[in-house]
Structure 1
Amino acid sequence: MQRWLGRAALVTGASSGIGAAVAYQLQDHGVNVVAVARRADKIEEAVAKTKQEAKSRGRYHETKAKPGKLHAKKCDVSKEEDILALFKWIKETLGGVDILVNNAGIARDTGLTAAPTEDWKMQLDLNVLGLSICTREAVQNMRARGVDDGHIIHMSSVAGHSVTLPESAMYSATKFAVLALAEGLRKDFVEHKSNMKVTCVSPGVVKTEIWNSLPKYNTEEFRKMPGLYAEDIADTILYALGTPPHVQIHEIIIKPVGEIL
């Protein structure tokens, strides 16, 4: 992680769970982090809480790096105008970003034969279009600055490899799309003879707030099932970021031992 010292990262969906864990780990490794969410006032509290929870599980280790700065910013990643305004601020304030973690995402417990169109659109706008717009803006900014070693992280899911729950088929469709977008981006970098990297992370069950939007699975029985923690996914992302320049972790699936979904 030495080469990222003093550089900048954008982490979306940073007001809870995985996004908050990635934000504190990058900051602790000396990266200046722009952490965004629809509720900017929740970000610093979430980052501190997630860090404390990792400590309580014995999963937090101090680093020797001087901590980077944390910039908590409001941005609804499902709205292009919010994304463009955010990147304008980043360019004017920090010059740009060198790491993008496309973590923001939403799931809805809706099927394909009776769901409201709005529930489908909400997932597509955030999980697919928002991710794509953030990626476009980040890559264009890097190229304009002559940055050729940037790293884009896409957050997919095991649901992007197999439709296991019929009521979440649209969510699965968005995560299948993320896999395709990661491979398309890799080929774009190859075509441009670029050394930039893209990594697609597909977690299994992670104990985060996303399950609050899926009432059928937000139960005591479900909470007793094997699951990962936010810091497990953050560790995976830092592993990918820490690889040598010639190594690209293009896709990685991470599941808890004993996962039954």
Structure 2
Amino acid sequence: MSISRWSGRVAVVTGASAGIGEATCIEFCKHGLITIGLARRVEKMEEIRKSLSPEQSKLFHAMKCDVSNEAEIVQVFAEIEKKFGGVDVLVNNAGVIAKYNMIDENSASDMKRVIDTNVFGVINCTREAVKTMRKKNEAHVIHINSVAGHSMPFIAEFPAFGIYTASKYAVTAIAEQHRQEFIKEKLNIKVTSLSPGAVATEIFDTMNTEKTDPEKIKEFMAKIPFLASKDIADSIVFLLSTPPNVLITELTIRPMNEAF
């Protein structure tokens, strides 16, 4: 897969401190992209730099941003435009999972946290990135969605998904709305919804176990086939390798033998 035409151009990856975001930043730097990682944990992103070669590490820039906070998004993208001349590739990866069922007591703040991050984070980051993408000959927005954004999983042994699935259904609609808006505005910006199945990342560590035996959860998780974060990063590289006239609107990637 060649993404040589993107070498030297600017990529922004949200949720870059771990998991898919971290793996994507590493792959981008390997392919010569100026890579800006956004996350709340800047110190974790600095650890990414240490894993890179000296040449690759010069391409990586860590910037603090909580994508659930619109003001922070506006500020950081303005800084990116000033320092780097704008954005060519945006990977909306940051996401959180629900800790409570929607019918649980005191679940409102948890649901707001999920929607602010998974939905408004995607909308607001894309809006700010498009301000500079308008000036580019070619740009690409990739929303990290989920298979849960296309079908509602029901697994009795699993902790609550709560409003997480609804937030990912929203991303499916947002990606199509972005595609249509880019066409109407005559913008040469691709948008892809990338929907992985189960990926071994930190997100599962934050799931609700208050009503579930943690040992049973661990036992159940041990039986699930997982993708690695690098599998998703490789898929993102593939999307960028497609020629300018080819748009993949939806890419679903599952681990072999995933049963849900």
Distance 2:186 2:41 in 1: 38
Distance 1:210 1:46 in 2: 18
Alignment-derived partner of residue 192 in structure 2: 199
Secondary structure (helix, strand or coil) at the match of 1:190 reads helix
Q: How does 1:36-47 map to 2 (within 5 A)?
A: 36-46=38-48
Alignment-derived partner of residue 140 in structure 2: 151
Alignment-derived partner of residue 59 in structure 1: none
| Aligned residues of 1:158 and 1:253 also touching (Cα < 8 A) | yes
Q: Structure 2: state its 5+ residue gaps.
A: none
What is the deviation of 1:234? 0.4
Distance 2:21 2:222 in 1: 20
Q: TM-score, normalised by structure 2?
A: 0.89
What is the deviation of 1:30? 0.2
1:164 aligned partner, one-letter code: P
Distance 2:225 2:193 in 1: 22
Aligned residue pair count: 245
| Aligned residues of 1:163 and 1:169 also touching (Cα < 8 A) | no
Secondary structure (helix, strand or coil) at the match of 2:221 reads helix
Distance 2:139 2:242 in 1: 12
Q: Does 1:102 align with 2:101?
A: no
What is the deviation of 1:47? 6.2
Alignment-derived partner of residue 12 in structure 1: 14
**Could you tell which deviates more after superposition, 4-13 or 167-176?**
167-176
Deviations 1:89-139 (A, max 9, x none): 101110111000000000013212115100000000000001100000001
Distance 1:230 1:47 in 2: 17
Alignment-derived partner of residue 251 in structure 1: 250
Distance 2:100 2:252 in 1: 25
Distance 2:68 2:4 in 1: 33
Q: Structure 1: state its 5+ residue gaps.
A: 52-61
Secondary structure (helix, strand or coil) at the match of 2:38 reads strand
What is the deviation of 1:48? 5.4
| Aligned residues of 1:15 and 1:47 also touching (Cα < 8 A) | no
2:76 aligned partner, one-letter code: L
Aligned in 2, Cα 1:176/1:47: closer, same or farther, shift over 3 Å? Answer: farther
Alignment-derived partner of residue 29 in structure 1: 31
Alignment-derived partner of residue 120 in structure 2: 129
Distance 1:161 1:88 in 2: 34
| Aligned residues of 1:199 and 1:251 also touching (Cα < 8 A) | yes
Distance 1:132 1:173 in 2: 15
1:129 aligned partner, one-letter code: F
Deviations 1:133-178 (A, max 9, x none): 00000011221xx213100000110111111148314100000000
Secondary structure (helix, strand or coil) at the match of 1:72 reads strand
Q: Does 1:219 align with 2:218?
A: yes
| Aligned residues of 1:23 and 1:47 also touching (Cα < 8 A) | no
Q: TM-score, normalised by structure 1?
A: 0.89
Alignment-derived partner of residue 119 in structure 1: 110
Aligned-pair identity (%) = 44
Distance 1:134 1:221 in 2: 35
Distance 1:149 1:78 in 2: 27
**Could you tell which deviates more after superposition, 24-33 or 164-173?**
164-173
Runs of 4+ that moved beyond 3 A: 46-49, 215-218
What is the deviation of 1:220? 3.7
